[in-house]
Amino acid sequence: MDGLPPSSRVRTALNGGRTEPTPEAVLLADVFDMLQRVDWHIVATNVDKKANLPKTPKPYPRWWLKAPAAKGKGEDRVARLEAARARKRARTEAIAAGLIA
Query: According to the 3-state scheme, what is the secondary structure of the chain?
Result: CCCCCCCCHHHHHHCCCCCCCCHHHHHHHHHHHHHHHHHHHHHHHCCCCHHHCCCCCCCCCCCCCCCCCCCCCHHHHHHHHHHHHHHHHHHHHHHHHCCCC
pLDDT in tens for each of the 101 residues of the chain?
A: 678 887 788 888 887 777 888 889 999 999 999 999 999 999 888 887 767 888 899 999 988 887 666 555 677 888 888 999 999 999 888 888 887 65
